[in-house]
Amino acid sequence: MTAPRRVLPGTVYLITRRCSERRFFLRPSKIVNEIFLYVLALAAQRHGVLVHVLCVLSNHAHLIITDPQGRLPSFMQYLDSLVGRAVNASLGRFEGFWATDGSYSAVEPLGAEDVLAKAAYVLANPVAAGLVRRGAEWPGLWTAPEQIGTTKLMARRPKIFFDPKGYLPETVELELTAPSGFSSAAEFRTLLSAAVQELEQKHHQESATNGRRFLGVGRVLAQNPFARPPAGGEPRFELKPRIAARDKWRRIEGLLRLKSFVLEYRHALVEWCSGSRNVVFPAGTYHLRVLHGVQCAGAA
C-alpha cells in the first residue's frame, strides 16, 4: 500500500517527473520549451504555486517550488496532464507520456541549506548527466541564478494543441522567486551561483576521472525524441525519499513527523471506512479532504 502524501501549506518541494520508459519526449526544441513554460506558468498562476528553479532535461523535469496553499496534487495534475497531451500532439503520439512506476517525486528540503543544495543539484543536472559542460549551455528550460527575484518570463500560448479561440490566455507570466529562509533574493542568487559552480567543477573532475566526454548541445538537439538512454543507466528499486536534510537530527525529526502522519492517517482511515464520519484526519491530508470533505486537524 502506497503511503499517503502529506500536503501542508507553505512547504518547499523538489519535484521530479520522468517520461515513460525514460524516452526523450522532452528533448529541447522550440515547441517543447514553449509548451512546458506556458503550462507551468498557467499551473502556477491557477494554484498559487511559487516557482524558484526549473530544469527540463530530455527525459525528466526538475522543479523547486513553494506551495503556499497546500494544492500540490492539483498543481501537478494540471501540469502533467497538459504538458503530456500537448507534447504528445507535437510528436504525433497518443500513448502514456509520463512514467507509470508511481507518480511524481516530491522531496521536502527541511532547511534553507537543504533548499539551496537541491536548487544547485537541479541546475547542475545537465552537467552531472554528461550533456553539457555548464548548466547555462543547456538548450532547454533552465533557470539562470541571476533570473531569480529579478525576472518575469513571458510565455506565449503554443500554436499546436491549444485552441486559439479557447479560454486559455494568449500570454501568461511566470515570475521566478527566491524561497524563504534567506535574507534576500540577492543572497540566494549569490549562494546558488557559488553552489552550482562548485557542483559543476565536481562533475568535471568525475568525468575526467572516468574518461567521459560531454555530449554537447548539437548532439542533444539531434537526438530522436523516441530514443532513450542505454539500458541499465538508471538504478531501480531504490528508496524514494520524501524529505531531505543534511543535518542528521533534523532529518530524524522530519522522518518521525512523517511517520506519525502516516500512522494517524491510517488509523483515521480505518475508522472512517467503518462508518465513523466524526473522525479527524491529521493535518496534511489532501485527497480525502478535497474529495470527501473529511475533518482535518490544524490548518489543513
State the CATH number of the domain containing residue 70: 3.30.70.1290
Q: What is the pLDDT of residue 152?
A: 93
Q: Please report whether residue 38 resides in a domain.
A: yes
- Are 231 and 260 found together in one domain? no
Q: What is the pLDDT of residue 300?
A: 44
- Are 237 and 257 found together in one domain? no
> Residues 179, 183, 185, CA angle at the centre, nearest 5°?
50
Q: What is the pLDDT of residue 3?
A: 79
Q: What is the pLDDT of residue 299?
A: 52
- Are 53 and 169 found together in one domain? yes
Q: What is the pLDDT of residue 119?
A: 97
DSSP structure class, residue 22 = G
Q: Please report whether residue 3 resides in a domain.
A: no
- Are 228 and 257 found together in one domain? no
- Are 271 and 153 found together in one domain? no
Q: Please report whether residue 129 resides in a domain.
A: yes
The one-letter code for the residue type at 1 is M
Q: What is the pLDDT of residue 40?
A: 98
Residue 257 sits in which domain range? 251-296
- Are 175 and 261 found together in one domain? no
Q: Please report whether residue 240 resides in a domain.
A: yes
Question: Mean pLDDT by 10-residue block, N- to C-terminus, for the chain (300 residues)?
Answer: 86 96 96 98 97 97 97 96 97 92 88 96 96 96 95 94 92 96 96 97 93 93 93 64 89 93 94 91 92 81
- Are 237 and 255 found together in one domain? no
Query: What total of structural domains would you count in the chain?
Result: 2
Q: What is the dihedral of CA 33, 37, 38, 41, to 10 degrees?
A: 180
Q: What is the pLDDT of residue 61?
A: 97
Q: Please report whether residue 232 resides in a domain.
A: yes
- pTM, two decimal places: 0.93
Nearest CA-CA partner of 80 in 112, 114, 35, 50: 35
- Are 186 and 266 found together in one domain? no
- Are 118 and 241 found together in one domain? yes
Q: Please report whether residue 6 resides in a domain.
A: no
Distance CA 96, CA 271 (A): 36
- Are 106 and 159 found together in one domain? yes
How distant, in Å, are the alpha carbons of 19, 30, 76, 246 from that of 227? 11, 19, 25, 36
